Amino acid sequence: MPTNTLSSAPTDSAPGSQLAVAEVLMSMLRGTTTELRPDIQLEALTLAVSADLPVLLWGEPGIGKTAALTQLAASLDLPLTTVIASVHEPSDFSGLPIVGDDPAEQGVPMAPPDWAVRLVRAGKGLLFLDELSTAPPAVQAALLRLVLERRIGSLQLPPGVRIVAAANPRSSAADGWELSPPLANRFVHLQWTHDHEVVVRGLAGTWPRATLPRLDPEKLSEAVDFARRAVCGLLSARPTLVHRLPTTETRRGGPWPSPRSWDMTLNLIAFATAAGSSREVLSLLVRGTVGDGPGLELLASLDRMDLPDPEDLLADPAGAVLPERGDLRQAALDGVVAAVRTRPERARWDAAWALFVRALETGAPDLVVVPATTLASLRQEDWDVPAAIEHLAGVVSLSQRADRAADRVARVGAKAGR
């Protein structure tokens, strides 16, 4: 019986051909591009990586933490080494003991794992410690030296290696653990959330591009000085913030203040200042290093450091430049009143009124009411009322009437609720 050659010939429906077509389709789906797009999460991450500080990304499963790290490594031209902490033994990070020719003379060296050797050979890389919250306490303890000292066994990772980790909250992690306080205190913690517009545009084929911040060489000395004054000024005024271990297990697994984390914060402020980063980016980094409470106090003190000197404002009230933000403008005016109270002189009192008129002309009138009322109380008997007060009298009167009306409305509402 003759062989049917047609049945053995390749056809479009043959499995091999269909797999080839499937590969082409998958290649087309993977073909995405990147663009420069403002993204405070990504900017905070790259700034911490630039400062060579270990970063820990917290986020729910599927939020894009691994994809962000993969794209970051590609953008920075760093080989990516992914290590799933939960599937390793403690000895994988502390080193495996290898008996040599003469242990009594040479000791027993601790051999590093192969991925650490590859990083040393490359001289640079991005070490990605994934699923950190699923690592048991013994493995977390073994990671302490790796994260802080960059040592695995007897091997020292080169300076070109950066460390980034990712974790899911314990409630959504597979057999999750809370991070131990010593390990948590070694990281800059960033909450990783999704941006609807970024996800939609990325699925359409264009994702944000991660780039290292551009540090201004002319601002380096100024940035270091500013960071040191900011951190040391706050800790001098609030010594209890130097070291404050949280009381709950969950909070101990996040950012909290210690001399180590304050040193990291100082570095981040210097880098953010030299890079001209926004307040939003700096807020993420500071609160992710020492916690929300101490971080917000530090941010408030940074705002006060940026306030103009009250003596400069009194010296040239007509040309004074006041902060745009309402809270900072109010603080600047309060500082002027405090300066006049400290050294009460007729010329300084008049200059303060002239400054308040300028504040009235360049900003919200209601911000002038409280400091103007306080300044009026500093008047001495032999001081004539300056003409500038006439410009402010209407605003103060209107504000007082508004306050009285608000009080009446509140009283009426309270009576109606009885």
Sort strands 96-97 and 151-152 into parallel, antiparallel or unpaired.
Answer: unpaired
172 secondary structure, DSSP code? G
Alpha helices in 363-387 (DSSP H): 366-376
Provide the pLDDT for residue 38.
Answer: 81
Provide the pLDDT for residue 15.
Answer: 67
User: For the whole model, what pTM was predicted?
Assistant: 0.74
Q: Cβ–Cβ contacts within 10 Å for residue 336, how many?
A: 26
Q: What are φ and ψ of residue 120, in 5° steps?
A: -65, -40
Instruction: Considering only residues 319 and 243, tell me which one the structure prediction assigns the higher pLDDT.
Output: 243
Residue 286 confidence class, pLDDT cut points 50, 70, 90: very high
Provide the pLDDT for residue 199.
Answer: 83
* Nearest-angstrom CA–CA distance, 250 and 253: 5
Bridge partners of residue 330, in order along the sequence: none
- Which residue do the tokens 């009426």 mark? 412
Q: What average pLDDT does this structure show over 411-417? A: 56
* Nearest-angstrom CA–CA distance, 148 and 90: 16
Provide the pLDDT for residue 238.
Answer: 87
Bridge partners of residue 56, in order along the sequence: 165, 189
Instruction: Considering only residues 398 and 38, tell me which one the structure prediction assigns the higher pLDDT.
Output: 38
- Which residue do the tokens 């914060």 mark? 265
Angle separating helix axes 259-275 and 40-50, nearest 10 degrees? 110
Alpha helices in 238-276 (DSSP H): 249-252, 259-275
Provide the pLDDT for residue 29.
Answer: 87
- Which residue do the tokens 């400062």 mark? 51
Distances (CA, A) of 134 to 130, 146, 231: 9, 17, 34
Provide the pLDDT for residue 407.
Answer: 54
- Which residue do the tokens 């894009």 mark? 64
Provide the pLDDT for residue 80.
Answer: 93
- What are 30-50's pLDDT values in tens digits? 888 888 778 899 999 999 999
Query: Which range (8-12, 115-119, 390-394) has the least confidence?
Result: 8-12
Residue ranges covered by each domain of the chain: 36-99+108-208, 217-305, 310-417
User: Backbone dihedral region of 226: left (phi > 0), alpha (psi from -120 to 50 degrees) or beta?
Assistant: alpha
Q: Cβ–Cβ contacts within 10 Å for residue 4, how many?
A: 8
Whether residue 202 is predicted with pLDDT greater than 70 in this model: the reply is yes
For residue 157 the two structure tokens come to: 């990772």
Distances (CA, A) of 83 to 78, 121, 254: 15, 17, 21
Instruction: Judge: domain 36-99+108-208, CATH 3.30.420.40.
Output: no
Distances (CA, A) of 308 to 221, 285, 304: 21, 26, 9
- What are 323-348's pLDDT values in tens digits? 888 878 888 888 899 889 999 999 99
Q: What average pLDDT does this structure show over 195-207? A: 83
- Whole-number average pLDDT of the chain: 83
